[in-house]
């Protein structure tokens, strides 16, 4: 012991210790000076502490539970439309800048690597950082998500699941009077749809007595780890390598995602073995004019991607993204809109009256999209459900971006946030009111209108179309949500089936208030109040 104490109190060791401490202090001071005064974005407004360290963001998003989006809104009120929110990133609250940042074809936009791996799926299309690599990965999936492909292959399946299973179960619940959390039912529907399309077999959630609600619960709970994963990128790989019993204690949310990935590994590995055995004798079908295998993952495994893009880990990443995105955002939308329809008798009555114009059991999405009030309800639903509430960073690698008087240096991560756009009172007066009328214009034929009335209606149409620029639940540009057409089909067909099924059942809210659909936390997808029991209904 004396020898031990002598060694650690020797002058050489003490000099090494203090030398290391002084070097660390000099490094931190130099880093602080650089970030505050010499960084390419040092001149942009914002709190100095945010410019100094990512832990400013960590406090609001990790310690306070997904609250940085609320703080960012406050910072914009203080500093203006463009602010620095961490040492590397700028955030913009200027509606006209949205089309600049999330530009279409011809403009390269990378993701920011620091945030792209928030769910541990960095080799999926969602997590891909470089523009060109993302373009290649997206091209392999795009044929399955075009409007024609969805109309041809998925609309019949969606209608069958809706009328043969979902509405049939609602009808049976009428006899019991048992309240139902509609999120369970809608998540069961969307999970069965996306798994059927991806793997040729659904998870059977609509057939399960409890709707297999542990699936949506697991995936939603799993998103709570996203901010921790950004701040500590080593954590998710460490959790995967850690014994399960330890992970369950330390971070149950991460365990949910790991379990999902392991299930996907089993399914995709089985598909890969199946493809090897059949040696090219696969069933094929036409998809948007091209010969494609019958499901999404059969296509990826047997398609034109290079071999390194067909590895099991990468396909699992793609599957994780597809299942989560296909289930979570659409079911949250349907839950939110169901509440607002049932909470307002006038909206409910007008929607049901319009749906009497069509046979909801056979109506196509194209027919339903032509119903003006249903379309208005869907548009207003997007404004409240948001799609994602997390900010979406983009990096313009080739040129500076212009935002008002500011020139944003090339290579700078820049983000915007959908809820700040959707609740902007300058764009949407009385933004907290669910008002489908803000999306309506006329509807009478030209022969039935006078010249002055026609001019007014045309002006109103242009006003609504201009407003639609700022409705961005699926994002925009080259990285717009790939599943926009599938989600649109699910939304229109489900609302028509549920609210147009007169005689089968009547839905009423059960011990549910607007608080149960409030968006409170940003875990990339919207989260509500932790103590909410959900949007519950009974069937009459």
For the chain, the domains span 1-38
pLDDT of residue 246: 83
State residue 289's pLDDT score: 42
Highest mean pLDDT among 209-218, 465-474, 499-508: 465-474
Residue 114: how many other CB atoms lie within 10 Å: 17
User: How many other C-beta atoms are found inside a 10 Å radius of the C-beta of residue 294?
Assistant: 14
The answer to which of 101-105, 255-259, 520-524 has the lowest mean pLDDT is 255-259
**Bigger pLDDT: 286 or 167?**
167
The distance of Cα 109 from the centroid of its chain, to the nearest Å, equals 19
Annotated binding residues for heme = 481
- Cα 354 to Cα 369: distance, rounded to the nearest angstrom: 12
Query: Phi/psi at 354 (nearest 5 deg)?
Result: -70, -40
Integer Cα distance of 91 and 417 in angstroms = 8
pLDDT at 307 over 70: yes
Q: Average pLDDT, stretch 320-340?
A: 94
Query: Do residues 364 and 154 lie in contact, with contact meaning Cβ atoms separated by under 8 Å?
Result: no
Give the three-state DSSP class for 537: strand
From CA 244, how far away is CA 255, in angstroms rounded? Answer: 8
Q: Tell me, what's the pLDDT at 291?
A: 42
DSSP-assigned letter for residue 84? E
Q: Token match 């069933």: residue? A: 283
Query: 68 φ, ψ to 5°?
Result: -65, -30
DSSP string, 507-529: EEE-S--GGGG---EEESEEE--
pTM as predicted: 0.91
**Which tokens go with 513?**
């208030």
b/e for 378-404, b at 16 or more Cβ within 10 A?
A: bbbbbbbbbbbbbbbbbbbeeeebebe
Burial of 411 (0-12, 13-18, 19+ CB in 10 A): middle
Strand partners, 92: 82
Annotated binding site: 481
Residue 489 in tokens: 């089909």
Average pLDDT, the chain: 89
Q: How far is CA 367 from CA 8, 364, 492, in A?
A: 80, 5, 10
What is the predicted pLDDT for the residue at 496?
Answer: 97
Residue-wise pLDDT for 411-459, tens only, equals 999 999 999 999 999 999 999 999 999 999 865 545 556 677 778 888 8
Residue-level pLDDT at 213 = 86
What digits encode the pLDDT tens for the residues 51-71? Answer: 999 999 999 999 999 999 999
Q: Residue 415: in which H helix or E strand, if any?
A: strand 413-416
CA 492, 439, 77, 337 dihedral sign is negative
pLDDT band at 288 (very low <50, low <70, confident <90, very high): very low
| Cα–Cα dist 512/406, whole Å | 46
């Amino acid at each position: 012991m004396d020898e031990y104490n002598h060694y650690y109190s020797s002058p050489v060791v003490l000099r090494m210790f203090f030398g290391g401490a002084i070097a660390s202090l000099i490094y931190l001071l130099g880093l602080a000076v650089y970030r505050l005064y010499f960084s390419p974005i040092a001149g942009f407004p914002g709190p100095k502490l945010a410019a100094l360290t990512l832990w400013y963001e960590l406090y609001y998003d990790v310690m306070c539970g997904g609250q940085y989006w609320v703080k960012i809104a406050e910072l914009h009120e203080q500093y203006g439309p463009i602010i620095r929110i961490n040492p590397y990133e700028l955030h913009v609250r200027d509606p006209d800048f949205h089309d600049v940042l999330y530009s279409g074809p011809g403009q390269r936009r990378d993701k920011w690597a620091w945030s792209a791996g928030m769910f541990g799926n960095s080799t999926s299309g969602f997590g891909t950082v470089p523009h060109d690599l993302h373009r290649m990965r997206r091209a392999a999936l795009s044929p399955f998500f075009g409007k024609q492909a969805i109309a041809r292959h998925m609309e019949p399946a969606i209608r069958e699941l809706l009328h043969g299973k979902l509405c049939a179960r609602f009808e049976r619940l009428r006899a019991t009077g048992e309240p139902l959390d509609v999120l369970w039912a809608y998540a069961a529907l969307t999970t069965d749809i996306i798994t059927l399309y991806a793997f040729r077999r659904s998870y059977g959630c609509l057939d399960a007595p409890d709707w297999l609600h542990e699936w949506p619960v697991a995936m939603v709970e799993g998103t709570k780890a996203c901010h921790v994963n950004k701040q500590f990128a080593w954590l998710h790989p460490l959790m995967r390598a850690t014994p399960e019993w330890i992970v369950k204690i330390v971070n149950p949310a991460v365990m949910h995602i790991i379990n999902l990935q392991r299930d996907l590994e089993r399914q995709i590995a089985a598909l890969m073995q199946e493809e090897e055995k059949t040696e090219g004798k696969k069933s094929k079908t036409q998809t948007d004019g091209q010969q494609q295998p019958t499901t999404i993952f059969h296509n990826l495994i047997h398609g034109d991607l290079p071999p390194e893009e067909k590895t099991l880990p990468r396909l699992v990443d793609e599957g994780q993204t597809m299942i989560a995105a296909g289930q979570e955002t659409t079911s949250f939308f349907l839950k939110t809109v169901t509440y607002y329809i049932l909470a307002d008798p006038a909206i409910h009555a007008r929607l049901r009256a319009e749906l009497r114009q069509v046979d909801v059991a056979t109506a196509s999405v194209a027919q339903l999209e032509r119903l003006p009030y249903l379309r208005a309800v869907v548009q207003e639903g997007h404004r409240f459900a948001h799609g994602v509430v997390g900010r979406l960073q983009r990096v313009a690698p080739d040129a500076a971006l212009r935002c008002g008087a500011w020139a944003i240096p090339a290579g700078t991560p820049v983000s915007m946030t959908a809820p700040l756009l959707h609740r902007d009172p300058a764009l949407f007066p009385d933004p907290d009111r669910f008002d489908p009328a803000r999306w309506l214009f006329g509807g009478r034929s030209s022969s039935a209108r006078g010249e002055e009335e026609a001019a007014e209606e045309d002006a109103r149409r242009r006003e609504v179309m201009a407003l639609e620029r700022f409705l961005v639940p699926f994002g925009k540009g080259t990285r717009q949500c790939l599943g926009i057409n599938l989600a649109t089909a699910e939304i229109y067909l489900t609302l028509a089936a549920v609210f147009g099924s007169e005689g089968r059942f009547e839905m009423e809210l059960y011990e549910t208030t607007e608080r149960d659909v409030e968006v409170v936390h940003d875990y990339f997808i919207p989260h509500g109040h932790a103590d909410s029991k959900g949007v519950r209904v009974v069937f009459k």
